[in-house]
Amino acid sequence: MELTNLVAPECVLPQLRASSKKNLLQELSHRASDLIGVDCRALFSALLERERLGSTAMGRGVAIPHCRLSGVDEIKGVLARLETPVDFDSVDGEPVDLVFLLVAPEAAGSDHLKALASVSRMMRDANALASLRGAEDAGAMYALLGSGSRSEAA
């Protein structure tokens, strides 16, 4: 699955400010509300509910908060790099500085899992993480999403 099919260029946030996990989810919900046209409160509630099941932080400074939401007709994503890392209850105890939000339709089924797998593959790649962290701006980060998708398909 091409990550650039999930994330539009304007959905890359290279300097997101957040002071805590909850504040980060609020900021992501607010931004996603504007960028991908979802209800801010419904998204925030769905993300909190998902986090209650277990943290979506996967270690090495990465989190992939995700949920299914009514009123969404296709899987959408928002990629954010935080100005300052925040504690996200990660398995390795490391604070999170890269976040990839995924929002899927309620009936997404296997497509939701395929999207999660694609994002997870890229976010486990040490070179991709270093490149995302070192990217100058949103455009450079977005370009990396495209190159990461192509290299995993090769």
Rounded distance, CA 54 to CA 144, Å? 28
pLDDT of residue 34: 85
Query: How much is the average pLDDT of 28-35?
Result: 91
Does 152 score more than 70 pLDDT? Answer: no
Rounded distance, CA 18 to CA 41, Å? 17
Domains of the chain: 3-149 (3.40.930.10)
Share of the chain above pLDDT 90, in %: 82
**Any catalytic annotation for residue 30?**
no
Confidence of residue 147 (pLDDT cuts 50, 70, 90): confident
Does 25 score more than 50 pLDDT? Answer: yes
Confidence of residue 148 (pLDDT cuts 50, 70, 90): low
Q: What is the DSSP string of the chain?
A: --GGGT--GGGEEEEE--SSHHHHHHHHHHHHHHHH---HHHHHHHHHHHHHH---EEETTEE--EEEETT--S-EEEEEEEEEEE----TT-PPEEEEEEEEEETT-THHHHHHHHHHHHHHH-HHHHHHHHH-SSHHHHHHHHHHHHHHHH-
Segment 87-112, tens digit of pLDDT:
999 999 999 999 999 999 998 889 88
Segment 54-97, tens digit of pLDDT:
999 999 999 999 999 998 989 999 999 999 999 999 999 999 99
Q: Is 88:104 a contact under the CB 8 Å cutoff? A: no
Question: Catalytic: which of 66, 76, 81, 112?
Answer: 66
